[in-house]
Copies of this chain bind each other. A is one copy, B any other.
Amino acid sequence: MSTLKDVAEKSGVTVTTVSRMLNGRGYISEKTREKINAAMRELNYKPNELARALSKKRSNFIGLIVPSASNMYFCKVIDCVERLVTGSGYKLLLCTSNDETKKELEYFNMLSASKVAGVILASHTQNIDLSVAIDAPIISIDRIISPRIPSVCSDNYQGGILAAEHLIAKGCRKLAHISGSSYLNMEANKRFFGFKEVCEKEGVPYVAIDATEEQFLSMQYENIIHSLIDSNPDIDGIFTSNDIIAAQVIKICSRRGIRIPQQMKVVGYDDIDLCKFCTPSITTIHQPVRDICQRAVESIVLEQDKKGIPIRVTYPVTLVEREST
């Protein structure tokens, strides 16, 4: 069996360079990379990452826990995190929790057993001190889990303000807010608080309704939208806490003959691809997913070097105006 030294000799570089490439650390030129790859192929060299990880007592896996990979917002998070993790020389272990605390704990045990370099948590897990469950840095995305676990969020409160201000500026006289998962995600509730503040300041009446957890996981909001419109036929603007709800508001308005944006204006949240693909396209609050994910991955990578990590980081959001307003 050929060794790292054989590969280095064959490709005419040092053992350190080969090792750096295999560990994905530091810059290696494209030319050198190709020489090393060619030598590895020729010698049929298979590095053993497990042995390396065992000797360092730490693997180069990073765990990402999301409620579901089929939710379009979390898809964006997964795509972004995977690219950043791989680009930093790590590998992504993906876990979908269905927002079940029991599954989240099982994943923590599994990730702990795999000696992960860190865990990025975009799933709920309230009331659990996860830092005792795993000997690796944790960072949460868009939710605050405990005073000791760092988090990276977007400015949910400001998102609610932007949405309400926009609907009112567009002439709406009575607003509604539909929340997707207020019991799951305290951070996202701030969207409603921002919205509420503007409505009260401007003297615009509003109603607020909550979807159930079941509706959040199945993304089926049609019943609550119908009953909202039935009970409040004078509503002319709706702010939804995710874009999927906004798409369903558009569908139901179309079925009921309510014209968008003339008779009803709709603002979503997240800015997933669906917003562009819908007819009419959806005005929404853009979450800076790339910034959030980059911060999360960097936080884990920097912790390996024992660098200082901020406990709370918040990125700004923006309103993207499209056809639904």
Contact = CB atoms under 8 A, between A and B. Distances in A.
Interface of A: 22, 37, 40, 46-51, 53-54, 59, 61, 68-70, 72, 75-76, 78-80, 82-83, 86, 91-96, 105, 109-110, 112-115, 135, 219, 244, 247-248, 250-251, 254, 273-274, 277-281
Given A82-B69, A273-B70, A115 B49 contact: yes
Chain A contact residues: over half helix, strand or loop, or mixed? helix
**Copies per assembly:** 2
Contact of A114 (B49, B80, B94): B49
Contacts of A51: 54
Contacts of A69: 69, 75, 78-79, 82
- Interface core residue of A59, A82, A244 (most chain B CB under 10 Å): A82
A92 B91 contact: no
A96 B82 CA distance: 7
Which 6 A-B pairs rank lowest in CB-CB distance, beginning with the nearest? A69-B79, A49-B113, A70-B79, A247-B277, A75-B75, A94-B94
A123 to B, nearest CB: 13
A26 to B, nearest CB: 16
Contact of A96 (B59, B79, B105): B79
Contacts of A113: 22, 46-49
Given A91-B93, A251-B281, A277-B274, A112 B46 contact: yes
- Interface core residue of A61, A80, A83, A113 (most chain B CB under 10 Å): A113
A91 B114 contact: yes
B92 A94 contact: yes
Contacts of A91: 93, 95, 110, 114
Nearest to A89: B110
Contacts of A22: 113
Nearest to A110: B91
Contacts of A78: 69-70, 75, 78, 94
21 contacts: A22-B113, A48-B54, A48-B113, A49-B113, A49-B114, A61-B93, A68-B79, A70-B76, A70-B78, A70-B79, A72-B75, A75-B78, A78-B78, A86-B95, A91-B93, A91-B114, A247-B278, A251-B281, A254-B279, A274-B274, A274-B277
Contacts of A251: 277-279, 281
A297 to B, nearest CB: 14
Contacts of A49: 110, 113-115
A110 B89 CA distance: 10
A84 B114 CA distance: 19
Contacts of A80: 70
A219 B110 CA distance: 36
Given A114-B50, A279-B254, A273 B72 contact: yes
